[in-house]
């Protein structure tokens, strides 16, 4: 396995593991610079070591094919070739970043522990800051809440739930890699249940409906996996679920405005979806796609084409992005580009889940599936996962699950002893 032949990692760079979550979370510019520097450093070390085996991974080769299509076919036909060129030439940084982290950074137990500790501490800071804003209307940095039912936390935009959505299921791996939690099954299960409950409450209070739906769905999958893997603890799990359910019901009862925003409004939004803001944006993206069905209008040209055709002028909305990954890919890269991207995703899921499912490692498989699917679920709406800020977190998750899929199950941080079980 590739992960078993890692490149050298400079000792001084271990500080990078502790800073990585913050570097990717708090600044769009810093996140992009971090991604680029990691990708470049990885290429330099690969060149010095003459080690290019990572290129042979099927999903990475599929991405190279997709990128070649963008460069050779999609770019020359773009409605704004100068705009598309910038994004086509730099698009490769995302898979390079993921491979670098999985092959070079997350390649042993100590590094994974360091990263998870940093991730948990960073998430705790964001959660505490956002909750402070919920109770006092202003966070620790003087940032006011976005509205009565939307919070910003330290991000200045109403996106804390969306940002942490990409990290919750990575953080849950702490149950298997951090000694405090992995020392017994009950500690593992308790940590998982408490963390998932905390994540639900946090996402609920942010007022971000799509993030709440995706997080809840991921938690349901993880809980089913817990029942499958630890059948002898079924009663304990159901008891924890009951306690958690009561706690969540109390939270909902104490926050009627947030309950209306985060729960009740989901039904009304879905029942009138075609007339909603999401429906209008999706229709506009579909119209742009129809005009360039096979090859698309060019990478990162949706906004320009949408504005030129005045597709959202009647609804009073802005042509920013389609709020759906696959509609955006269809509109900008056409059916051909979308199929190539889906092929890459298929190989990625196969790589990530194949070994874990073969080992019947249900919980890690469920966590890995959730890490990927909260970003790649077809009906996902909201902030674009192709933007450099969110994309950095998406590809961080890809890097993590790639590393997990390559870890030997016999490693000491991967399983409990028979005594502990």
pLDDT in tens, 267-280: 777 777 767 777 88
Mean pLDDT of the region 200-221: 94
Q: Are 301 and 362 in contact (CB under 8 A)?
A: no
**Block residue for tokens 């769905």:** 217
How big is the chain by its Cα radius of gyration, in Å? 22
pLDDT of residue 383: 65
Instruction: State pLDDT tens for residues 95-137.
Output: 999 999 998 889 888 889 999 999 999 999 999 999 999 999 9
Is the predicted pLDDT of residue 157 greater than 60, yes or no? yes
Tell me, what's the pLDDT at 126?
A: 97
Q: What is the pLDDT of residue 407?
A: 82
State how far the Cα of 125 lies from the Cα of 113, in Å rounded to an integer. Answer: 18
Who has greater pLDDT, 378 or 5? 378
Nearest one of 417, 359, 408 to 107, comparing CA atoms = 408
CB atoms < 10 A from the CB of 121, how many?
Answer: 12
Among 347, 348, 328, 346, residue whose Cα is nearest residue 338: 328
pLDDT in tens, 342-397: 999 999 999 999 999 999 999 999 999 999 999 999 877 666 677 677 899 999 99
Q: What is residue 344's predicted lDDT score, i.e. its pLDDT? A: 97
pLDDT for 11 equals: 61
Higher-pLDDT residue of 59, 320:
59
The confidence score (pLDDT) of residue 144 equals 95
Q: Which helix (H) or strand (E) holds 223?
A: helix 209-229
Give residue 25's pLDDT: 94
Confidence of residue 419 (pLDDT cuts 50, 70, 90): very low
Give the DSSP letter string of 132-169: HHHHHSB-TTSPBPSBTTB--GGGSSS-HHHHHHHHHH
Q: State pLDDT tens for residues 293-314.
A: 999 999 989 888 888 888 877 7
Q: What is the mean pLDDT of residues 75-92?
A: 90
Lowest mean pLDDT among 4-18, 177-191, 224-238: 4-18
Among 132-146, 201-215, 228-242, 380-394, the minimum mean pLDDT is found in 380-394
Q: Give the confidence band of 411 by pLDDT, cuts at 50, 70, 90.
A: low
Q: Residue 369: is it exposed, middle or buried by C-beta count within 10 angstroms (0-12/13-18/19+)?
A: buried
Q: How far apart are CA 19 and CA 408, in angstroms?
A: 27
Question: pTM for this structure?
Answer: 0.91
pLDDT number for residue 256: 86
Mean pLDDT value across the chain: 88
């Amino acid at each position: 396995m590739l992960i078993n032949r890692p490149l050298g990692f400079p000792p001084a760079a271990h500080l990078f593991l502790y800073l990585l979550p913050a570097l990717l979370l708090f600044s769009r510019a810093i996140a992009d610079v971090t991604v680029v520097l990691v990708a470049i450093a990885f290429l330099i070390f690969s060149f010095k070591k003459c080690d290019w085996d990572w290129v042979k991974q099927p999903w990475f080769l599929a991405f190279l094919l997709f990128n070649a299509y963008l460069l050779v076919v999609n770019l020359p036909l773009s409605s704004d070739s100068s705009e598309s060129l910038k994004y086509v030439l730099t698009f490769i940084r995302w898979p390079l970043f993921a491979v670098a982290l999985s092959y070079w950074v997350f390649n042993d137990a100590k590094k994974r522990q360091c990263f998870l500790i940093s991730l948990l501490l960073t998430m705790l800071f964001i959660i505490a800051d956002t909750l402070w804003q919920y109770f006092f209307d202003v966070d620790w940095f003087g940032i006011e809440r976005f509205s009565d039912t939307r919070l910003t936390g330290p991000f200045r935009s109403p996106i804390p739930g969306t940002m942490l959505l990409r990290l919750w299921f990575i953080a849950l791996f702490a149950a298997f890699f951090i000694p405090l939690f992995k020392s017994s099954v009950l500690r593992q299960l308790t940590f998982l249940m408490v963390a998932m409950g905390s994540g639900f409450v946090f996402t609920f209070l942010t007022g971000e409906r799509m993030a709440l739906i995706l997080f809840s769905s991921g938690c349901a999958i993880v809980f089913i996996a817990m029942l499958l893997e630890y059948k002898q603890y079924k009663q304990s799990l159901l008891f924890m679920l009951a306690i958690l359910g009561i706690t969540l019901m109390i939270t909902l009862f104490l926050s009627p405005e947030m309950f209306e925003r985060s729960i009740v409004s989901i039904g009304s939004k879905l029942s009138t979806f075609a007339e909603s803001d999401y429906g209008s944006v999706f229709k506009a993206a579909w119209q742009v796609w129809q005009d360039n069905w096979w090859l698309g209008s060019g990478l990162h040209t949706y906004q320009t084409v949408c504005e030129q055709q005045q597709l959202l002028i009647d609804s009073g909305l802005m042509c920013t992005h389609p709020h759906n990954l696959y509609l955006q890919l269809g509109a900008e890269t056409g059916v051909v580009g979308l199929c190539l991207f889906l092929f890459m995703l298929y190989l990625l899921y196969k790589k990530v889940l194949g070994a874990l499912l073969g080992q019947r490692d249900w919980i890690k498989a469920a966590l890995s599936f959730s890490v990927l699917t909260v970003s790649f679920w077809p009906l996902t709406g909201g902030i674009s996962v192709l933007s450099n800020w969110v994309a950095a977190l998406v590809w961080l998750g890809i890097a993590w699950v790639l590393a997990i899929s390559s870890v030997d199950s016999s490693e000491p941080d991967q399983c409990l002893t028979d005594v502990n079980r």
